[in-house]
Amino acid sequence: MHQFNWSDILAQWPTLMTGAKITLQITVLAIVIGIVWGTVLALFRLSGVKPLQWFASTYVTLFRSIPLVMVLLWFFLIVPQLLQNVLGLSADIDIRLASAMVAFSLFEAAYYSEIIRAGIQAVPRGQVNAAFALGMTYGQAMKLVVLPQAFRAMVPLLLTQAIVLFQDTSLVYVISLADFFRTATNIGDRDGTTVEMVLFAGACYFVICVVASALVKSLQKKVAR
Protein backbone atom coordinates (compact mmCIF):
# COMPACT_ATOMS: atom_id res chain seq x y z
CA MET A 1 0.00 0.00 0.00
CA HIS A 2 1.44 3.33 -1.04
CA GLN A 3 2.15 5.68 1.86
CA PHE A 4 1.25 9.17 0.71
CA ASN A 5 3.51 12.04 1.72
CA TRP A 6 2.08 15.47 0.98
CA SER A 7 4.51 17.46 3.12
CA ASP A 8 6.84 18.35 0.21
CA ILE A 9 4.20 20.24 -1.76
CA LEU A 10 4.19 23.40 0.36
CA ALA A 11 7.98 23.32 0.67
CA GLN A 12 8.33 23.14 -3.13
CA TRP A 13 5.66 25.74 -3.85
CA PRO A 14 8.09 28.46 -5.12
CA THR A 15 9.62 25.98 -7.59
CA LEU A 16 6.18 24.87 -8.74
CA MET A 17 5.19 28.51 -9.31
CA THR A 18 8.23 28.93 -11.56
CA GLY A 19 6.92 26.09 -13.70
CA ALA A 20 3.40 27.56 -13.58
CA LYS A 21 4.79 30.84 -14.91
CA ILE A 22 6.15 29.06 -17.99
CA THR A 23 2.79 27.32 -18.52
CA LEU A 24 1.03 30.69 -18.28
CA GLN A 25 3.48 32.34 -20.70
CA ILE A 26 2.93 29.66 -23.34
CA THR A 27 -0.85 29.72 -22.87
CA VAL A 28 -1.29 33.50 -23.06
CA LEU A 29 1.07 33.97 -26.01
CA ALA A 30 -0.50 31.11 -27.97
CA ILE A 31 -4.00 32.49 -27.35
CA VAL A 32 -3.10 36.02 -28.48
CA ILE A 33 -1.07 35.03 -31.55
CA GLY A 34 -3.43 32.16 -32.34
CA ILE A 35 -6.48 34.44 -32.43
CA VAL A 36 -4.71 37.17 -34.43
CA TRP A 37 -3.16 34.80 -36.97
CA GLY A 38 -6.31 32.67 -36.99
CA THR A 39 -8.37 35.75 -37.88
CA VAL A 40 -6.03 36.49 -40.78
CA LEU A 41 -6.31 32.89 -42.00
CA ALA A 42 -10.10 33.01 -41.74
CA LEU A 43 -10.21 36.22 -43.78
CA PHE A 44 -7.90 34.64 -46.35
CA ARG A 45 -10.26 31.68 -46.76
CA LEU A 46 -13.24 34.00 -47.18
CA SER A 47 -11.48 36.56 -49.38
CA GLY A 48 -12.28 35.05 -52.77
CA VAL A 49 -8.61 35.39 -53.81
CA LYS A 50 -7.57 31.90 -54.90
CA PRO A 51 -3.88 31.98 -53.79
CA LEU A 52 -4.87 33.24 -50.32
CA GLN A 53 -7.65 30.67 -50.08
CA TRP A 54 -5.27 27.90 -51.11
CA PHE A 55 -2.61 28.98 -48.62
CA ALA A 56 -5.05 29.26 -45.70
CA SER A 57 -6.81 26.00 -46.53
CA THR A 58 -3.51 24.11 -46.83
CA TYR A 59 -2.21 25.62 -43.57
CA VAL A 60 -5.34 24.74 -41.59
CA THR A 61 -5.57 21.24 -43.03
CA LEU A 62 -1.88 20.56 -42.35
CA PHE A 63 -1.86 21.64 -38.71
CA ARG A 64 -5.22 20.04 -37.93
CA SER A 65 -3.99 16.72 -39.36
CA ILE A 66 -0.79 16.47 -37.31
CA PRO A 67 -0.58 15.61 -33.59
CA LEU A 68 0.53 18.55 -31.45
CA VAL A 69 3.31 16.53 -29.84
CA MET A 70 4.80 15.96 -33.30
CA VAL A 71 4.67 19.69 -34.07
CA LEU A 72 6.48 20.40 -30.79
CA LEU A 73 9.21 17.91 -31.66
CA TRP A 74 9.55 19.35 -35.17
CA PHE A 75 10.12 22.86 -33.90
CA PHE A 76 12.46 21.68 -31.16
CA LEU A 77 14.56 19.21 -33.16
CA ILE A 78 14.42 20.50 -36.72
CA VAL A 79 14.17 24.28 -36.72
CA PRO A 80 15.85 25.69 -33.57
CA GLN A 81 18.53 27.52 -35.57
CA LEU A 82 15.89 28.88 -37.94
CA LEU A 83 13.91 30.21 -34.99
CA GLN A 84 16.99 31.89 -33.58
CA ASN A 85 17.85 33.53 -36.90
CA VAL A 86 14.33 34.57 -37.91
CA LEU A 87 13.26 35.82 -34.48
CA GLY A 88 16.68 37.23 -33.62
CA LEU A 89 16.85 35.32 -30.36
CA SER A 90 19.90 35.72 -28.18
CA ALA A 91 21.91 32.74 -27.00
CA ASP A 92 20.61 33.31 -23.46
CA ILE A 93 17.02 32.46 -24.39
CA ASP A 94 15.93 28.87 -23.81
CA ILE A 95 15.26 27.52 -27.30
CA ARG A 96 12.87 24.98 -25.80
CA LEU A 97 10.61 27.75 -24.52
CA ALA A 98 10.85 29.70 -27.79
CA SER A 99 10.11 26.62 -29.90
CA ALA A 100 7.15 25.67 -27.67
CA MET A 101 5.68 29.17 -27.94
CA VAL A 102 6.00 29.26 -31.73
CA ALA A 103 4.68 25.71 -32.15
CA PHE A 104 1.65 26.30 -29.94
CA SER A 105 0.88 29.67 -31.56
CA LEU A 106 0.99 28.31 -35.12
CA PHE A 107 -0.85 25.11 -34.19
CA GLU A 108 -3.66 26.82 -32.30
CA ALA A 109 -4.11 29.39 -35.08
CA ALA A 110 -5.45 26.62 -37.31
CA TYR A 111 -8.18 25.78 -34.79
CA TYR A 112 -8.99 29.40 -33.99
CA SER A 113 -9.21 30.05 -37.73
CA GLU A 114 -12.06 27.57 -38.15
CA ILE A 115 -13.91 28.99 -35.14
CA ILE A 116 -13.54 32.54 -36.44
CA ARG A 117 -14.48 31.58 -40.00
CA ALA A 118 -17.68 29.96 -38.74
CA GLY A 119 -18.41 33.05 -36.64
CA ILE A 120 -17.97 35.37 -39.61
CA GLN A 121 -20.18 33.22 -41.81
CA ALA A 122 -22.86 33.25 -39.09
CA VAL A 123 -23.26 37.04 -39.42
CA PRO A 124 -26.24 37.68 -41.75
CA ARG A 125 -25.23 38.68 -45.27
CA GLY A 126 -27.57 41.63 -44.95
CA GLN A 127 -25.15 43.23 -42.50
CA VAL A 128 -22.43 43.23 -45.15
CA ASN A 129 -24.80 44.54 -47.82
CA ALA A 130 -25.88 47.33 -45.50
CA ALA A 131 -22.25 48.27 -44.91
CA PHE A 132 -21.63 48.37 -48.67
CA ALA A 133 -24.74 50.52 -49.09
CA LEU A 134 -23.23 53.02 -46.66
CA GLY A 135 -20.16 53.26 -48.87
CA MET A 136 -17.84 51.05 -46.82
CA THR A 137 -15.12 48.99 -48.44
CA TYR A 138 -14.83 45.24 -47.81
CA GLY A 139 -12.11 45.85 -45.23
CA GLN A 140 -14.14 48.49 -43.41
CA ALA A 141 -17.22 46.28 -43.42
CA MET A 142 -15.23 43.44 -41.87
CA LYS A 143 -13.51 45.64 -39.29
CA LEU A 144 -16.48 47.76 -38.23
CA VAL A 145 -19.52 45.57 -38.83
CA VAL A 146 -18.84 41.86 -39.25
CA LEU A 147 -15.93 41.07 -36.92
CA PRO A 148 -17.36 42.85 -33.82
CA GLN A 149 -20.59 40.85 -34.13
CA ALA A 150 -18.77 37.63 -34.94
CA PHE A 151 -16.35 37.90 -32.02
CA ARG A 152 -19.18 38.65 -29.59
CA ALA A 153 -20.84 35.37 -30.58
CA MET A 154 -17.53 33.48 -30.69
CA VAL A 155 -16.21 34.45 -27.24
CA PRO A 156 -17.44 31.27 -25.48
CA LEU A 157 -15.93 29.04 -28.20
CA LEU A 158 -12.65 30.95 -28.18
CA LEU A 159 -12.41 30.60 -24.40
CA THR A 160 -13.25 26.90 -24.57
CA GLN A 161 -10.41 26.43 -27.04
CA ALA A 162 -8.17 28.38 -24.64
CA ILE A 163 -8.98 25.85 -21.90
CA VAL A 164 -8.02 23.01 -24.23
CA LEU A 165 -4.82 24.88 -25.04
CA PHE A 166 -4.02 25.24 -21.34
CA GLN A 167 -4.39 21.48 -20.89
CA ASP A 168 -2.24 20.78 -23.94
CA THR A 169 0.67 22.83 -22.60
CA SER A 170 1.60 19.83 -20.47
CA LEU A 171 2.84 18.21 -23.70
CA VAL A 172 6.01 20.34 -23.51
CA TYR A 173 7.05 17.52 -21.21
CA VAL A 174 8.40 15.76 -24.34
CA ILE A 175 10.99 18.50 -24.97
CA SER A 176 12.03 18.60 -21.29
CA LEU A 177 10.72 22.12 -20.78
CA ALA A 178 10.12 22.74 -17.07
CA ASP A 179 6.49 23.83 -17.16
CA PHE A 180 4.20 23.20 -14.20
CA PHE A 181 3.66 19.51 -14.93
CA ARG A 182 7.30 18.79 -15.75
CA THR A 183 8.45 20.66 -12.63
CA ALA A 184 6.06 18.65 -10.47
CA THR A 185 7.27 15.34 -11.90
CA ASN A 186 10.92 16.38 -11.54
CA ILE A 187 10.36 17.15 -7.87
CA GLY A 188 8.58 13.83 -7.44
CA ASP A 189 11.40 11.89 -9.12
CA ARG A 190 13.98 13.64 -6.97
CA ASP A 191 12.20 13.23 -3.63
CA GLY A 192 10.50 9.89 -4.22
CA THR A 193 7.01 11.46 -4.21
CA THR A 194 6.15 11.00 -7.88
CA VAL A 195 2.63 9.72 -7.19
CA GLU A 196 1.82 12.63 -4.90
CA MET A 197 3.21 15.28 -7.24
CA VAL A 198 1.45 13.88 -10.31
CA LEU A 199 -1.84 13.70 -8.40
CA PHE A 200 -1.35 17.26 -7.15
CA ALA A 201 -0.55 18.56 -10.63
CA GLY A 202 -3.61 16.78 -12.03
CA ALA A 203 -5.79 18.26 -9.28
CA CYS A 204 -4.51 21.76 -10.12
CA TYR A 205 -5.33 21.32 -13.81
CA PHE A 206 -8.73 19.91 -12.89
CA VAL A 207 -9.69 22.79 -10.59
CA ILE A 208 -8.51 25.49 -13.00
CA CYS A 209 -10.32 23.92 -15.97
CA VAL A 210 -13.55 23.31 -14.05
CA VAL A 211 -13.64 26.90 -12.80
CA ALA A 212 -12.80 28.25 -16.26
CA SER A 213 -15.48 26.05 -17.86
CA ALA A 214 -18.07 27.31 -15.38
CA LEU A 215 -17.15 30.89 -16.23
CA VAL A 216 -17.44 30.13 -19.96
CA LYS A 217 -20.90 28.62 -19.47
CA SER A 218 -21.99 31.68 -17.51
CA LEU A 219 -20.65 33.96 -20.23
CA GLN A 220 -22.34 31.86 -22.90
CA LYS A 221 -25.71 32.36 -21.20
CA LYS A 222 -25.16 36.11 -21.05
CA VAL A 223 -24.20 36.24 -24.73
CA ALA A 224 -27.29 34.17 -25.62
CA ARG A 225 -29.52 36.65 -23.79
DSSP readout, 105-161? Answer: HHHHHHHHHHHHHHHHHHS-HHHHHHHHHTT--HHHHIIIIIHHHHHHHHHHHHHHH
What pLDDT is attached to residue 83?
Answer: 64
What pLDDT is attached to residue 149?
Answer: 84
- Torsion on CA atoms 130, 133, 135, 139, rounded to nearest 10: 40
pTM of this structure: 0.86
State yes or no: pLDDT of 3 exceeds 80: no
The CATH number of whichever domain residue 86 belongs to comes to: 1.10.3720.10
The reply to whether 136 falls in a domain is yes
CA distance 18 to 94: 14
The reply to whether 209 falls in a domain is yes
- Percent of residues, the chain, with pLDDT higher than 90: 35
Between 125 and 164, the more confident residue is: 164
The reply to whether 182 falls in a domain is yes
Which structural domain, as residue segments, surrounds residue 100?
Answer: 7-224
pLDDT digits (tens, 9 = 90+) for 131-160: 888 888 877 888 888 888 888 888 888 889
pLDDT digits (tens, 9 = 90+) for 16-61: 899 999 999 999 999 999 999 999 999 999 887 899 999 999 999 9
State yes or no: pLDDT of 74 exceeds 70: yes
The mean of the pLDDT values for the chain is 85
State yes or no: pLDDT of 165 exceeds 80: yes
- State the amino acid at position 66 in one-letter form: I
The reply to whether 76 falls in a domain is yes
The reply to whether 162 falls in a domain is yes
Q: How confident is the model at residue 1 (pLDDT cuts 50, 70, 90)?
A: low
The reply to whether 1 falls in a domain is no
What pLDDT is attached to residue 211?
Answer: 93
pLDDT digits (tens, 9 = 90+) for 183-218: 988 888 887 888 888 888 999 999 999 999 998 888
State yes or no: pLDDT of 93 exceeds 70: no
User: From the CB of residue 95, how many other CB atoms can be counted at a distance below 10 Å?
Assistant: 18
The reply to whether 188 falls in a domain is yes
pLDDT digits (tens, 9 = 90+) for 49-68: 899 999 999 999 999 999 99
Give me the number of domains the chain comprises.
1
State yes or no: pLDDT of 173 exceeds 90: no
The reply to whether 217 falls in a domain is yes
